[in-house]
């Protein structure tokens, strides 16, 4: 090996996906990749803060998460419920019925 800890040759490095899912051919253009987000969660929510806090709590308390993170889980569930209710109300207002 020369240089780093990688055992991929320069040719193979261009083809390696580094743990990312292999995209179907219709996503292979660079413009589609640049327009998309980072590849993280595709769920778009207004509750990102509560989601991050609950995930951070799980990472810190992975062995005792059910007891240590209850307040974060409840805050996230409450936010998601409220968000769902807002979406239902918006859909009802925009409905022609």
Q: What contacts 83, CB < 8 A, 6 or more positions away?
A: 45, 46, 47
Confidence label for 1 from pLDDT (cuts 50, 70 and 90): very low
Q: Residue 44's pLDDT is what?
A: 78
Residue 71 or 34, more confident: 71
What predicted TM-score, i.e. pTM, was given to this entire model? 0.54
Write the secondary structure of 14-51 as one string of H (helix), E (strand) and C (coil).
Answer: HHCCCCCCCCCHHHCCHHHHHHCCCCCCCCCCCCHHHH
Token pair for residue 41? 């969660």
Write down the domain spans for the chain: 48-94
Token pair for residue 56? 């951070």
Per residue in 40-90, pLDDT (tens digit) is 556 678 899 999 999 999 999 989 999 999 999 999 999 999 999 999 999
d(CA 51, CA 76): 6
């Amino acid at each position: 090996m020369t240089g780093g800890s990688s055992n991929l040759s320069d040719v193979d490095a261009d083809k390696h996906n580094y743990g990312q899912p292999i995209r179907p051919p219709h996503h292979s253009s660079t413009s589609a990749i640049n327009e998309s987000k980072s590849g993280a969660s595709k769920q778009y929510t207004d509750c990102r803060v509560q989601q991050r806090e609950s995930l951070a709590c799980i990472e810190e308390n992975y062995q005792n998460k059910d007891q240590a993170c209850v307040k974060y889980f409840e805050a996230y569930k409450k936010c998601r419920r409220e968000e769902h209710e807002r979406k239902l109300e918006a859909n009802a207002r925009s409905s022609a019925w």
